C-alpha cells in the first residue's frame, strides 16, 4: 500500500502519521521527493481500515500495490536510487565501468590491470577470488589471498573493489577487503545469504540468475532490502535460452523493464552474456542505449593464458578502444563516462 500525502504536509506531520500507521503492526516508510511525499506500507495491511486512512487530512490518495516486491518497487520510491561507493555514484548521470579479470591470479596482475583500466576510464575494478564453478575440478579462486591482492591494487589506484561472495561465512573477509559485494547468478536465490547481506552496510551487486524472471530478481533484491540494506545494484548478465551460438542470451528488454519497475540502478555484464570477446563491444553499446547505469567487463592482460574465462576477456588495449567508442554514445544519451 502507498499513501500519497497532500502538498504542504510537513516532515513532522509525516513522521507522526508513520508512527500512527505503525501501530497497526506494519512498517511505514516515508519517502520525501522534490514535490511529493509518499509513505510506503510493508506488511500485513488487512488490519488497516482503508476508509479511516483515506479520511485523514494529510492523505491525498491511497494506492494498493499488487506486485509482491515493495521496497524495490518504483511506486514506493519514484526517484532513482543513487548508490555511493567511495567517490563513485551509481545510478546518476555517470555511466560506471567496472573492469578486471574473471579470476585474480597474482598481486602483480591485479595492480597492472587495475592501473590500465583506470587509465582507460574504469572507476571500479572487478576480480574473482571465490569462484563457483560448474566442475569441481576447475580453478576455484585464490580465496582470501585473492581479496588481499585486490585490496593492494585498490590502495595503489583508488579503484573500489567488486568481488563475488559465495557463502555467508565469507562476510567478515568481504567487509574488510571489498567495496561492493557481488552475488553471482548461482546464488541469486540463496535466501540465507541474501538475508545476511541485508544486515551488512556494503553495496550489493545482485546478478540475475540465468534461468530467473525479472520479478524473481526483484524479489531477491527485496530479501536484501527488507533486512535494512537498500544499497542494491541489479545486474542483467544474460539468461539461458535454446541458442548455442553465444554463452547466454543478453536480455536487452530487461534493462528498460527493470528501470520502469524499480528505482534501483541497473548494470549489465556483456562478458558473461556473449561469452566471446568480440561480442563485448556491441553488447556494451546496446546496453547503454537501453539505459544501463553501468557495465562490468572482464579484462585480462593475457587472455589466452587466463585461468578462467579467457575467451570472453578483453585485453587492456581492447578495453581502452571500447571506452573510446562508448564515450560519444554516452554523450549522445545525455550521460558521461
User: CATH number, domain at 89?
Assistant: 3.20.20.70
Helix 254-261 vs helix 280-290: angle between axes, to the nearest 10 degrees?
30
> In the prediction, which pLDDT does 266 show?
98
What number of residues does the chain have? Answer: 337
> In the prediction, which pLDDT does 28 show?
87
> In the prediction, which pLDDT does 36 show?
84
Nearest to 162 by CA among 198, 122, 191, 189: 122
**Residue 232: strand pairing partners:** 204
Q: Is the pTM of this model over 0.85?
A: yes
Whole-angstrom distance, CA of residue 2 vs CA of residue 307: 50
In a domain, 75, yes or no: no
Q: For the chain, which residues score pLDDT lower than 70?
A: none
Contact call for residues 103 and 126 (beta carbons, < 8 A): no
Contact call for residues 154 and 110 (beta carbons, < 8 A): no
How many domains does the chain contain in total? 2
If asked whether residues 43 and 159 sit together in one domain, one would say no
In a domain, 57, yes or no: yes
In a domain, 68, yes or no: no
> In the prediction, which pLDDT does 136 show?
82
pLDDT digits (tens, 9 = 90+) for 47-60: 788 888 888 889 98
CB burial of residue 67 (10 Å; 0-12, 13-18, 19+): middle
If asked whether residues 128 and 275 sit together in one domain, one would say yes
Q: Domain containing 325: what range?
A: 83-332
If asked whether residues 251 and 176 sit together in one domain, one would say yes
Distances (CA, A) of 183 to 2, 94, 108, 258: 30, 23, 26, 18
In a domain, 126, yes or no: yes
In a domain, 235, yes or no: yes
If asked whether residues 173 and 113 sit together in one domain, one would say yes
User: CATH number, domain at 52?
Assistant: 3.30.70.1140
Instruction: Please write down the HEC assignment for all residues of the chain.
Output: CEEEECCCCCHHHHHHHHHHHHCCCCEEEEEECCCCEEEEEECCHHHCCHHHHHCCCCEEEEECCCCCCCCCECCCCCCCCCEEECCEEECCCECEEEEECCECCCHHHHHHHHHHHHHHCCCEEECECCCCCCCCCCCCCCCHHHHHHHHHHHHHHCCCEEEEECCHHHHHHHHHHCCEEEECHHHCCCHHHHHHHCCCCCEEEEECCCCCCHHHHHHHHHHHHHCCCCCEEEEECCECCCCCCCCCECCCCHHHHHHHHECCCEEECHHHHHCCHHHHHHHHHHHHHHCCCEEEEEECCCHHHCCCCHHHCECHHHHHHHHHHHHHHHHHCCCEC
Whole-angstrom distance, CA of residue 192 vs CA of residue 220: 11
> In the prediction, which pLDDT does 184 show?
95
If asked whether residues 262 and 326 sit together in one domain, one would say yes
If asked whether residues 166 and 286 sit together in one domain, one would say yes
If asked whether residues 273 and 150 sit together in one domain, one would say yes
pLDDT digits (tens, 9 = 90+) for 96-152: 999 999 999 999 999 999 999 999 999 999 999 998 777 887 777 889 999 999 999
Final residue before a domain boundary, out of 15, 35, 63: 63
If asked whether residues 9 and 98 sit together in one domain, one would say no
Cα 293 from chain centroid (whole Å): 9
Whole-angstrom distance, CA of residue 245 vs CA of residue 154: 36
> In the prediction, which pLDDT does 52 show?
83
> In the prediction, which pLDDT does 297 show?
98
In a domain, 337, yes or no: no
If asked whether residues 125 and 42 sit together in one domain, one would say no
Instruction: Please report, to the nearest 10 degrees, the dihedral formed by the alpha carbons of residues 242, 248, 277, 255 taken in order.
Output: 130
Final residue before a domain boundary, out of 63, 93, 111: 63
> In the prediction, which pLDDT does 282 show?
98
> In the prediction, which pLDDT does 118 show?
97
* Residues in contact with 84: Cβ distance below 8 Å, sequence separation at least 6, in sequence order: 90
> In the prediction, which pLDDT does 134 show?
77
In a domain, 70, yes or no: no
In a domain, 69, yes or no: no
Contact call for residues 197 and 172 (beta carbons, < 8 A): no
> In the prediction, which pLDDT does 26 show?
86
If asked whether residues 96 and 236 sit together in one domain, one would say yes
Where do we find the cell 574473471?
102
Nearest to 167 by CA among 139, 131, 193: 193
If asked whether residues 105 and 44 sit together in one domain, one would say no
If asked whether residues 57 and 123 sit together in one domain, one would say no
| φ/ψ of residue 42, rounded to 5 | -120, 135
pLDDT digits (tens, 9 = 90+) for 178-194: 999 999 999 999 999 99
Residues 261, 85, 173, 110, CA torsion sign: positive
> In the prediction, which pLDDT does 290 show?
98
Amino acid at each position: 500500500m502507498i499513501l500519497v500525502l497532500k502538498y504542504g504536509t510537513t516532515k513532522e506531520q509525516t513522521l507522526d502519521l508513520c508512527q500512527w500507521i505503525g501501530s497497526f503492526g506494519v512498517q511505514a516508510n516515508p519517502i520525501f521527493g522534490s514535490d511529493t511525499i509518499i509513505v510506503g506500507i510493508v506488511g500485513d495491511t488487512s488490519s488497516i481500515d482503508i476508509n479511516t486512512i483515506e479520511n485523514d487530512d494529510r492523505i491525498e490518495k491511497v494506492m494498493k500495490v499488487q506486485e509482491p516486491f515493495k521496497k524495490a518497487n518504483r511506486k514506493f520510491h519514484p526517484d532513482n536510487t543513487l548508490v555511493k561507493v567511495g567517490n563513485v555514484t551509481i545510478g546518476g548521470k555517470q555511466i560506471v565501468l567496472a573492469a578486471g579479470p574473471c579470476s585474480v591470479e597474482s598481486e602483480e596482475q591485479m595492480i597492472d590491470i587495475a592501473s590500465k583500466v583506470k587509465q582507460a576510464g574504469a572507476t571500479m575494478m572487478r576480480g574473482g577470488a571465490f569462484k563457483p564453478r560448474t566442475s569441481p575440478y576447475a580453478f576455484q579462486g585464490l580465496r582470501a589471498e585473492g581479496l588481499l591482492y585486490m585490496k593492494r591494487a585498490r590502495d595503489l589506484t583508488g579503484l573500489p573493489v567488486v568481488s563475488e561472495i559465495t557463502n555467508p561465512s565469507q562476510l567478515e573477509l568481504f567487509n574488510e577487503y571489498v567495496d561492493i559485494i557481488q552475488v553471482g547468478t548461482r546464488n541469486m536465490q540463496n535466501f540465507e545469504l541474501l538475508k545476511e547481506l541485508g544486515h551488512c552496510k556494503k553495496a550489493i551487486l545482485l546478478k540475475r540468475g540465468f534461468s530467473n524472471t525479472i520479478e524473481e530478481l526483484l524479489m531477491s533484491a527485496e530479501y536484501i532490502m527488507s533486512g535494512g540494506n537498500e544499497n542494491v545494484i541489479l545486474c542483467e548478465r544474460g539468461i539461458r535460452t535454446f541458442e548455442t551460438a553465444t554463452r547466454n542470451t543478453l536480455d536487452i528488454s530487461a534493462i528498460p523493464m527493470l528501470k520502469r519497475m524499480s528505482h534501483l540502478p541497473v548494470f549489465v555484464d556483456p562478458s558473461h552474456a556473449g561469452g566471446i570477446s568480440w561480442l563485448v563491444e556491441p553488447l556494451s553499446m546496446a546496453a547503454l542505449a537501453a539505459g544501463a547505469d553501468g557495465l562490468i567487463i572482464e579484462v585480462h592482460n593475457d587472455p589466452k593464458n587466463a585461468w578462467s574465462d579467457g575467451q570472453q576477456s578483453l585485453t587492456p588495449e581492447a578495453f581502452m578502444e571500447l571506452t573510446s567508442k562508448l564515450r560519444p554514445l554516452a554523450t549522445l544519451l545525455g550521460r558521461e563516462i
